[in-house]
């Protein structure tokens, strides 16, 4: 795991002063590291009969699509408002300062489908909590939320269902 961590670039003071940003694009650009990361995540879910993988805009699309392919599951996209072409279900959630909104197609998840939610990074957990709520409101059976990396010091897991979070890399 340290080899994967070493490939992720730290960018100080991005997007604002005092933040140390974990830039995963360096890992995604390295073919062997990307393949290893996807294989390690997918191995956890092989045989679990996942019906849908939900990818959260935008880096979650990359990880979610790769996992869906490996697991023989469908990929569902959760996007910012106005980006999906058909009827959507919206969820507005609180941020530290203000609110944000996400959308998913109303027909993307059928009741009882086993759902894996995938994203690149678990930070404060607010966005992922909103996505979990969307999936469960639509009748999806949440199997787990998986992340390539987690910033443990931000305690994002506390906003998510207990026992339903897996992070490959932890900081």
The 3-state DSSP class for residue 145 equals: strand
Q: Which residues contact 71 (CB under 8 A, 6 or more apart)?
A: 42, 45, 46, 48, 50, 53, 116
Catalytic pick from 36, 44, 59, 114? Answer: 59
Instruction: Give, in order, the Cα–Cα distances in Å from 62 to each of 29, 45, 56, 74, 138.
Output: 12, 17, 9, 14, 23
Within 13 Å, how many C-alpha atoms sit on residue 129's CB side? 17
Among residues 96, 144, 150, 152, the one annotated as catalytic is 96
Written as six digits, the tokens of 16 are 């604002």
What is the distance between the alpha carbons of residues 73 and 76, in angstroms, rounded to a whole number? 10
Catalytic, 57? Answer no
Burial classification of residue 133, based on how many CB atoms lie within 10 Å of its CB (0-12 exposed, 13-18 middle, 19 or more buried) = middle
Residues with a known catalytic role: 59, 96
């Amino acid at each position: 795991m340290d080899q994967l961590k070493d490939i992720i670039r730290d960018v100080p003071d991005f997007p604002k002063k005092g933040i140390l940003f974990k830039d995963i694009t360096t890992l995604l650009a390295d073919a062997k590291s990307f393949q290893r990361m996807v294989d390690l995540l997918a191995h956890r879910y092989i045989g679990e009969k996942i019906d849908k993988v939900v990818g959260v805009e935008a880096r979650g699309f990359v990880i979610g699509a790769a996992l869906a392919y490996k697991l023989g599951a469908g990929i569902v996209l959760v996007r910012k408002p106005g980006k999906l072409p058909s009827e959507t279900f919206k969820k507005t959630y609180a941020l530290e300062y203000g609110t944000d909104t996400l959308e998913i197609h109303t027909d993307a998840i059928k009741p009882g489908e086993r759902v894996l939610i995938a994203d690149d990074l678990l930070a404060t957990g607010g966005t992922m909590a909103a996505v979990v709520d969307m999936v469960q409101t639509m009748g999806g059976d949440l199997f787990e939320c998986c992340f390539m990396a987690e910033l443990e010091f931000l305690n994002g897991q506390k906003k998510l269902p207990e026992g339903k979070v897996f992070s490959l890399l932890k900081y």
